A and B are shown apart, each in its own frame.
Chain A
Amino acid sequence: MREIRWQIGFILIIAFFIINFFVFDFDLKFKLMNIGLFSALFVLIRTVIGPSPADRIVAVDILGILVVGICALMAITFDQSFFIDIAMAWALQSFIATLALAKFLEGRHLDD
């Protein structure tokens, strides 16, 4: 069962990479950004189906770090420097959000 699932996933991922790089005629920067957005899709799958609350907290934490990378890519794609500022602010606030969510999971209050 696990091997059949592995094969299906492998075929899907290879198909995504072929379609991304060889079918459409975009700029290279947009193709690179597509890979980052595809990774974010996987994180959203884990956020939706995660069996326990801890899985969802992990997924939100990882999404926070991933968005920092996507913002940096957008900064060089559109050549605007304020995307880097957005990335820095996002890194700061996502760390604090993770701390608050972990405290909530442990069953304590925020002023504990």
Chain B
Amino acid sequence: MISEIIGYILISIGLLFNFFGVLGLVRLPDVYNRLQAATKCVTFGTAGILAGVFVMKGYGVMGLKPIICIIFILLTAPVSAHVISRAAHRAKIKLTDETIIDKYEEDKELRK
């Protein structure tokens, strides 16, 4: 009973942060800012939902697979964000007008 309540609290926190991340995906002005907000919040929120499932179900058939899922998501989500941002900058997609500094564009001749 008490584990069900803790599981529901974790799932609610996860869904709330998922919602904030997706709202950032809609509101922020360019690709890189959207990628930041969405990656951080949606990764943490989905990890929260899976942790809630683990707390509710215990060490059973459905219990240990969410743990593997959490480890996999925490390892791969930053990698995919890095890959998308690097590819977008190399495909010459513009940063927003509010941008102050772009050191990566300045050092372009030094890269191979």
Contact = CB atoms under 8 A, between A and B. Distances in A.
Contacts of B15: 32, 35-36, 39, 69
Query: From DSSP, what is the main secondary structure of chain B's interface residues?
Result: helix
Nearest to A35: B15
Interface residues of B, number: 47
Taking chain A's interface residues, is the majority helix, strand, or loop, or is none over half, making it mixed? helix
A54 B88 contact: yes
A18 interface: no
B19 A39 contact: yes
B56 A76 contact: yes
A99 B11 CA distance: 29
Contacts of B66: 72, 84
Contacts of B65: 84-85, 88
A65 B42 contact: yes
The bracket for how many chain A residues form the interface is 35 or more
Contact of B80 (A36, A43, A61, A76): A61
Interface in A50-74: 52-55, 57-59, 61-62, 65-66, 68-69, 72-73
27 contacts: A35-B15, A35-B18, A36-B18, A39-B18, A39-B19, A39-B22, A42-B26, A43-B25, A54-B88, A61-B81, A62-B21, A62-B38, A62-B39, A68-B46, A69-B49, A69-B50, A72-B53, A72-B66, A73-B49, A75-B53, A75-B62, A84-B53, A87-B50, A87-B69, A88-B65, A88-B68, A102-B84
